[in-house]
């Protein structure tokens, strides 16, 4: 159950944004934002006026919403009654009404416009995205526990990776291990057309194959219909194995990448891994509240350049992505993006995944990813599993 004081602070934060932007109200519709601002993820719409208490219009389940949400709950079987309720309850009519333009479909937007024909609809998604970057002590405690569960679950992974088994078969065992640690299964992403299922279990040089997704790696996946993650390739002696996995516990995502090798890792992959560690070390020593996310990216790129790996940094050639990290929280793809042009100052309480990685076609992927909490003085490691490459014994 989300702390009441967190919900109050979040609503206040949103209202501050509204007042600064001449917005009369925001209507929250998307499930993750609903949970963030109301404590419940039921079939509901949260109407947040620029001043005063929010109203939760709820279709179902009322029982659950009432248990989880401290705001005034208005039962309804049709959201078309929302304007009437707002009028009847004496709320000011919203001349300017904010919506989550980054996620709500056009058809839903049009239905809201029909309900508020004389209102100007405007985009509130930037305000929401910014508010969600800084985590509360309550959220940080959940995220730290998630990092520990990931480390616990991954303790057995070296025993699960065996030559002769397919990527998918080993991934199935890792998924069961995570689930036994209460992984929620589904990892939520905000980006349109983005999806993620537990992790990228990538072996050998196949792992270098890029795909539609906004990440560094993808892998072959199971076919054109599911073009990322583990596939049917059988693990061989000598394979580098790259595991970019997301732990989702109590609603919160933590992001972690580790390397495994069955036998001896190719020299160039080992070199690239050392450079990735060097970048990670430099970034966590550098990062301080107040600095720009883009500075971290520039620093990482410089080290990759100096190491002669700029063409392999964060992808290969034309398929490189231009970031070295991202915020995580209730969604996997949160702000800030550690990327050029992202000039919003970092703050204590942000939780970011830093993932310096190199794609070496024909060889495989080398890199590291950890989730970090930004503190007033630097960072604290969330994904506490040791960074080292784990060597899988041959027999």
- Binding residues for its own copies, rule: CB under 8 A, are 1-2, 29-31, 35, 39-44, 60-61, 63-64, 68, 77, 99, 101-110, 123, 125, 168-169, 171-173, 175-176, 179-180, 182, 184-186, 188, 192-193, 195, 197-198, 209-213, 218, 222-227, 229, 232, 250-251, 318-319, 330
**Which residue in 239, 234, 245, 228 sits closest to 174, CA to CA?**
245
Alpha carbon 53 to its chain centroid, in Å, reads: 29
To its own copies, the closest distance from the beta carbon of 334 in angstroms equals 15
| DSSP string over 309-369 | -GGGBTSSGGG--S-SEEE-SSSSSEEEEESTT---B--TTBEEEE--EEEETTTEEEE-B
| Nearest to its own copies of 90, 192 (CB atom) | 192
Q: Record the tokens describing residue 8, joined without a space.
A: 């109050």
To its own copies, the closest distance from the beta carbon of 280 in angstroms equals 26
Q: Cβ distance 267 to 232 under 8 Å?
A: no
To its own copies, the closest distance from the beta carbon of 223 in angstroms equals 7
To its own copies, the closest distance from the beta carbon of 377 in angstroms equals 30
| Nearest to its own copies of 133, 213 (CB atom) | 213
Number of alpha carbons in the 13 Å side-chain half-sphere of residue 291: 20
- At residue 153, φ and ψ (nearest 5 deg) are -65, -40
| Nearest to its own copies of 81, 91 (CB atom) | 81
| Nearest to its own copies of 280, 371 (CB atom) | 371
To its own copies, the closest distance from the beta carbon of 133 in angstroms equals 18
To its own copies, the closest distance from the beta carbon of 326 in angstroms equals 17
To its own copies, the closest distance from the beta carbon of 247 in angstroms equals 14
To its own copies, the closest distance from the beta carbon of 185 in angstroms equals 4
List CB contacts of 251: < 8 A, sequence separation 6 or more. 35, 142, 184, 330
How far apart, in whole angstroms, are the C-alpha atoms of residue 12 and residue 50?
9
| Nearest to its own copies of 175, 333 (CB atom) | 175
| Nearest to its own copies of 44, 283 (CB atom) | 44
To its own copies, the closest distance from the beta carbon of 106 in angstroms equals 4
For residue 376, the SS3 value is coil
What distances in angstroms separate CA 276 from CA 175, 349, 382, 388, one per listed residue? 26, 25, 18, 12
- H or E segment at 19? helix 4-20
Beta strands in 221-278 (DSSP E): 240-249, 252-262
Identify the residue whose tokens are 């990892």.
Answer: 187
Q: For 294-323, b where at least 16 C-beta lie within 10 A, e where not — what string?
A: bbbbebbbebbeebebeebbbbbeeebbeb
| Nearest to its own copies of 300, 330 (CB atom) | 330
**Which residue in 379, 383, 170, 394 sits closest to 286, CA to CA?**
379
To its own copies, the closest distance from the beta carbon of 290 in angstroms equals 29
Number of alpha carbons in the 13 Å side-chain half-sphere of residue 83: 14
| Nearest to its own copies of 193, 377 (CB atom) | 193
| Nearest to its own copies of 39, 370 (CB atom) | 39
How far apart, in whole angstroms, are the C-alpha atoms of residue 290 and residue 376?
10
| Nearest to its own copies of 170, 346 (CB atom) | 170
**Which residue in 65, 61, 382 sits closest to 249, CA to CA?**
382
């Amino acid at each position: 159950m989300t702390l009441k004081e967190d919900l109050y602070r979040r609503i206040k934060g949103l209202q501050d944004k509204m007042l600064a932007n001449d917005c009369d109200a925001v209507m929250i519709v998307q499930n993750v934002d609903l949970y963030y601002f109301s404590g419940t993820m039921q079939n509901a719409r949260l109407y947040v006026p620029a001043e005063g208490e929010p109203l939760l219009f709820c279709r179902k389940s009322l029982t659950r919403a009432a248990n989880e949400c401290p705001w005034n709950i208005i039962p309804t079987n049709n959201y078309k009654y929302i304007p009437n309720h707002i009028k009847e309850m004496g709320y000011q009519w919203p001349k300017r009404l904010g919506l989550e333009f980054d996620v709500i479909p056009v058809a839903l937007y049009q239905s809201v416009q029909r309900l508020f024909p004389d209102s100007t609809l405007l985009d509130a998604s930037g305000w929401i995205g910014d508010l969600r970057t800084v985590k509360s002590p309550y959220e940080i405690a959940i995220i730290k526990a998630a990092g520990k569960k990931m480390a616990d679950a991954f303790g057995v992974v070296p025993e699960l990776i065996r030559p002769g088994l397919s990527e998918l078969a080993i991934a199935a065992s890792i998924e069961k291990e995570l689930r036994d640690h209460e992984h929620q299964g589904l990892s939520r992403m905000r980006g349109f057309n983005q999806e993620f299922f537990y992790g990228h279990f990538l072996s050998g040089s196949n792992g270098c194959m890029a795909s539609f997704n906004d990440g560094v790696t993808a892998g072959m996946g199971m076919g054109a219909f599911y073009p990322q993650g583990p596939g049917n390739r059988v693990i061989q002696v000598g394979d580098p194995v790259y595991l970019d996995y997301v732990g989702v516990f109590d609603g919160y995502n933590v992001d972690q990448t580790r390397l495994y090798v069955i036998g001896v890792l190719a020299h160039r992959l080992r070199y690239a891994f050392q450079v990735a560690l060097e970048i990670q070390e430099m970034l966590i020593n550098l990062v301080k509240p107040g600095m720009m996310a883009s500075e971290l990216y520039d620093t990482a790129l410089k080290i990759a350049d100096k190491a002669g790996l700029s063409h392999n940094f964060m992808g290969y050639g034309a398929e490189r992505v231009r970031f070295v990290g991202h915020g995580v929280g209730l969604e996997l793809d949160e702000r800030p993006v550690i990327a050029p042009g992202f000039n919003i100052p970092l703050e204590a309480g942000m939780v970011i995944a830093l993932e310096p990685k190199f794609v070496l076609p024909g060889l495989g992927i080398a890199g590291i990813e950890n989730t970090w909490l930004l503190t007033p003085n630097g960072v604290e490691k969330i994904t506490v599993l040791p960074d080292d490459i784990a060597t899988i014994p041959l027999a």
